[in-house]
Structure formats: structure tokens, C-alpha cells
Amino acid sequence: MRALISFALALSLATSFAVAAAQAPSANVRTMAGILAKLNHFPNDAEKATLGGIVKSDTATAHEKTIAQALINTMHTANAADKPKLEAMAKDSAAPQGVKTLAGVIASLNHTASPAEKAELTKLAAAN
């Protein structure tokens, strides 16, 4: 009986993780991916306003707020204070894949995303 309960619990957890991993990225992640895919040196005023809305949002996750603030602070590269947070987020196995992608791209940013990163960000921005 104990083995059956343990198996059922393990199956339930595995299913929960699989469903969470398969979920589409949030609207905030898609928005930031779109901004980052077109970013050239730093976000423009309209993009900064959009990102500021994410930072102030009651529904944005802590990861999303950190990424949005890092994008606001970006001037050619990630801000020195933001970079360690982004690098840690990119390696965080518990973070959603979209968050990890954004964090990794911003952490390694040099004026603009690479062509491969832009293609990945464009897909992320369009994901449903």
C-alpha cells in the first residue's frame, strides 16, 4: 500500500512538472522577448515605459520584474549590478524556460542579441 501511495505521489509530481514545463510563456515574457529581439544598444522610451509597467505590475513574477528592470538599465550591455542576478536566473532549474532564455541573453548582451538569439527571442515572443 505504501509503495502504491508513493508511486501515485511521484506520478502526480511528474505530471505537474511536465504540465508546467509545457506551458506557454507569460504575456510579460513574450513582451520582453519582443523588445529584446529588436533591441539595439538600449530600449527606447516607449519600451522603457512598457518594461516599467511590468516592474510595477501586481501580477508579474519576481523573475519577470528583475528581467524588466535589467532591460531598463541596459546600456549596450547588462548593468554590473543586474548581471549576477541574470546569470543566476539563467541557471535556475526552477525558473521557466522563457525566463531563463531572457536572462541568459541579457547577461551576455553586447549592443544587440546575436542572430541565433534573435531567432529564439522572436519564437518566444510569438509563442502561445
pLDDT tens for 87-126 read 999 999 999 999 999 999 999 999 999 999 999 999 999 9
pLDDT at 128: 79
Q: What is the pLDDT of residues 28-65, one digit of tens each?
A: 999 999 999 999 999 999 999 999 999 999 999 999 99
Q: Which residue has the higher pLDDT, 94 or 2?
A: 94
Distance of alpha carbon 88 from alpha carbon 59, whole angstroms:
22
Total domains in the fold of the chain: 1
CA distances from 32 to 19, 91, 111 (A): 23, 19, 16
Would you give the distance in Å from CA 66 to the centre of its chain? 9
Per-residue pLDDT, 52: 97
Encoded amino acid at 83, one letter? K
Tell me the three state secondary structure of residue 110: strand
Which grid coordinates are listed for 9? 505521489
Q: Is residue 94 part of a domain?
A: yes
Using 50, 70 and 90 to split pLDDT, how confident is the model at 18? very low
Could you tell me if residue 80 is inside a domain?
A: yes
In a domain, 103, yes or no: yes
Instruction: Report the pLDDT averaged over residues 7-29.
Output: 62
Q: Which residue has the higher pLDDT, 13 or 90?
A: 90
For 35, the domain range is: 25-126
Residue 14, in any domain of the structure:
no
Does residue 48 form part of some domain? yes
